[in-house]
Amino acid sequence: MNLETHLRSRRSLGKSLLIPYVTGGLGEPWLQIVRAVAAAGADAVEIGIPFSDPIMDGKTIQEASQRALDLGATFSSIVAQVATLDIGIPIVVMSYYNPLHHAGHVRSASMLADAGIDGAIIPDLPLDEIGPWADAADDAGVETVLLAAPTTPDDRLGRICERSRGFVYGVSLMGVTGERAQLASQASVMGERLKAITDMPVLLGVGISNSEQAVAAAASADGVIVGSALISRLLRGEGPDEAFTFVESIRSALDA
Amino acid sequence: MPAPQRGTPVDLTPAQASDGLDQTLGRFGEFGGRFAPETLIPALEELEQEFNSAWSSSDFRNEFSELLTSYAGRPTPVTECRRLSDALGVRVFLKREDLTHTGSHKINNVLGQALLTKRMGKQRIIAETGAGQHGVATATVAALFGLDCTVFMGAVDVKRQALNVWRMELLGASVVSCESGSATLKDAINEAMRDWVSSVESTHYCIGSVVGPHPYPTVVREFQRVIGDESLLQMREQLSGRDPDYVVACVGGGSNAMGTFAGFTDTSAQLIGIEAAGLGLESGQHGASITRGVPGVLHGAKSLLLQDEDGQIVEPHSISAGLDYPGVGPQHAALAATGRARYESATDEEALLGFQLLAETEGIIPALEPAHVIGWLMREAGQSVPTGSTVLITMSGRGDKDAAFVAERLSGRDS
Ligand SMILES: Cc1ncc(COP(=O)(O)O)c(C=O)c1O
């Protein structure tokens, strides 16, 4: 499934887009969680490949990644499990660069494509370094989503939008992933700056923690990504049913 | 040129163009680069510009040089070790970074980066630390410059370097203990980077070694090259114009080694970096990233890394907190690839032997990090290092911080 085409068509229905994040390999039922969030109305799902040194992640996703690694999750085991999914929406992986680099650009891009994974978000691979990976990913048909940050200057923002595939990921605050009591003031500025220069779908993520924040963030962009708020529930022992309820509540708030 | 005298400002000649760096991407051969989160890219670009303009300004260089002299106590001497030389059959000289203010080479880099921090108008400085020496140096200079200072330190290191934690707090820094992963240096760097992603507009990240995204490996090497530039002149004076046969330094991230090598790249000296072999290279419990690592990307740069078959970073091991790191500065990876420098290793046990021998023969108690070099030379003198060779070793720091730990390790032994 083409990620960008799919998101554009959902957007054209006048709906705000919603992409939940699930750490791959986080306990036995993690594929059930993915199915649950898809059923709850996600427009795509982001699956985290756990990494030993996740510098863009706060405590919650650090803990989830460590737990998944302790349970034996690997890049190839997660990809193999994703290949068994049939959820009817695009799947994007979030991976730090080293596991992809280690497996080899061409090999890891084709592993993703073969598993039916449509896109990749690589938080430590900025525009300036994307070349060798992007060539392999483009050839394999994996859409590489670039991040834009509140600190990104205007001219660079334009180049990021041009090179991004699937959508543009606007970082909604100055910081790493993790729940926040309030939506950062940078969120709407980020959304507006991106919307002013690109027609590509713009999603805001990092720190968006509940329905209210999702609605506020989505007002300036095409949609939101929700990660830690879901993962902290899973770390507390909640399962597919609660994940469904949580994502559905954000879905209906966005649709209201 | 005469060797620098104590109290004389050092002439810091501009970096050579032959530093092996492809300026556009910050590459040393295939290594280096800028693999950082988007949030940090503008700050890295600003740092690069600020460094380039500062480093070509004589005002900046004079100010830096003045601080190195009046505050850090440079130039540091080179000491010929007569009794150690007799014991080993090779002529050993030590570059005495242990005699700088705060007791290690780390102060050189911190003074330079603090000046850059001021130029960029930032009020807060953060640092990671392993052995605590870089943290102490940063806390010290933050006090001198009136900057807010936070130091990130792995929980394991907080325990084994308790004296340095106390020193940092006395100096007014807050020390954050990092519990994640192996709770050592790499995790402290992760935590410092996470802080920086949140605070980059007001904060400078004072990285402590020749690691990290471009321009850090170059910035830190240039601020440390004073070690090599001084040593070159001092050795020529001691050796009637000749260069030493071997120039050897320990390698954690690689800043004392890179600063030393920078002075000798155009000589015929053999450059050797000593990594931590921990419990032995075969045990898998070591910090020998060049000897045993494979290419990968960590902490913003491509280099050689200890990692598993899945691309996860492997937890290193070393008796010395400063060498307990799964990566290495990208320029070292490049020097190893071209063969201009060679990388060997010494185990925990060899480091302990070196620690004791230098104390007994020369009255110098080394930090455990450079004690690895002494331990290596004890094994290699008369073997791969022929009898009668001249060997310059960078004594990167003094051993006070390790005294209690080593005392505990050695107690109950017969030797
Ligand atoms: C005395 C001493 N030597 C060496 C090192 C290792 O660092 P580098 O390899 O950057 O010189 C440290 C680091 O903490 C240190 O304290």
**Domain segments of chain A: what residues?**
3-255
Q: Which band of pLDDT confidence, cut at 50, 70 and 90, is reported for residue B414? A: low
Cβ separation of A174 and B305 shorter than 8 Å?
no
Residue B1 clears pLDDT 60, i.e. is over it: no
For residue B302, give the chain A residue with the closest CA: A98
Annotation says A57 is catalytic:
yes
DSSP for residue B212: S
Cβ separation of A128 and B312 shorter than 8 Å?
no
| Chain B residues whose beta carbon lies within 8 Å of the beta carbon of residue A101 | 295-297, 302, 311
Ligand 1 pocket mutation, candidates B224, B256, B325, criterion most atoms within 8 A of CB: B256
Q: Which band of pLDDT confidence, cut at 50, 70 and 90, is reported for residue B415? A: low
| Helix residue ranges per DSSP H, B71-130 | 82-88, 106-119
The answer, yes or no, to whether the previous bond of B75 is cis (omega within 30 of 0) is: yes
Question: Which positions 98-117 of A are in contact with B (Cβ < 8 Å)?
Answer: 98-103
**Alpha carbon of B258 to ligand 1 centroid (Å):** 11
Does the CB of A174 have a partner CB in chain B at under 8 Å? yes
Assigned token pair, B31? 């290594």
pLDDT digits (tens, 9 = 90+) for B231-262: 999 999 999 999 999 999 999 999 999 999 99
- Counting atoms of ligand 1 from 1, which one is nearest the CA of B252? 9
| Chain A residues whose beta carbon lies within 8 Å of the beta carbon of residue B193 | 55
Cβ separation of B180 and A126 shorter than 8 Å?
no
pLDDT digits (tens, 9 = 90+) for B328-346: 999 999 999 999 999 999 9
DSSP symbols for B360-396: HHHS--B-HHHHHHHHHHHHHBTTTB-TT-EEEEEE-
- Classify the phi-psi angles of B103: left when phi > 0, otherwise alpha if psi is within -120 to 50, otherwise beta: left
The answer, yes or no, to whether the previous bond of B215 is cis (omega within 30 of 0) is: yes
| Chain B residues whose beta carbon lies within 8 Å of the beta carbon of residue A153 | 42
Active-site annotation holder among A43, A46, A143, A179: A46
pLDDT digits (tens, 9 = 90+) for B177-212: 999 888 889 999 999 999 999 999 999 999 999 999
Q: How many Å apart are CA A169 and CA A127, to the nearest integer? A: 13
Mean pLDDT of A202-219: 98
First to last CA, chain B: 46
Q: Which band of pLDDT confidence, cut at 50, 70 and 90, is reported for residue B19? A: low
Active-site annotation holder among B101, B105, B317, B372: B105
Does the CB of B24 have a partner CB in chain A at under 8 Å? no
Ligand 1 pocket mutation, candidates B250, B343, B372, criterion most atoms within 8 A of CB: B250
Residue B3 clears pLDDT 70, i.e. is over it: no
Which CATH homologous superfamily contains domain A3-255?
Answer: Aldolase class I (3.20.20.70)
- The residue behind tokens 């330079």 is B112
Q: How many Å apart are CA A89 and CA A13, to the nearest integer? A: 16
Among residues A66, A28, A54, A18, the alpha carbon closest in space to that of A237 is found at A28
**Which pLDDT score, from 0 to 100, does residue B21 have?**
52
- Residue of minimum CA distance from atom 14 in ligand 1: B322
pLDDT digits (tens, 9 = 90+) for A47-92: 999 999 999 999 999 999 999 999 999 999 999 999 999 999 999 9
Cβ separation of A128 and B42 shorter than 8 Å?
no
Q: Which band of pLDDT confidence, cut at 50, 70 and 90, is reported for residue B20? A: low
Annotation says B81 is catalytic:
yes
Cβ separation of A151 and B39 shorter than 8 Å?
yes
Q: How many Å apart are CA A117 and CA A90, to the nearest integer? A: 7
Cβ separation of B311 and A54 shorter than 8 Å?
no
Does the model's ipTM exceed the 0.85 cut?
yes
Does the CB of B178 have a partner CB in chain A at under 8 Å? no
**Which pLDDT score, from 0 to 100, does residue A42 have?**
98
- Residue of minimum CA distance from atom 12 in ligand 1: B322
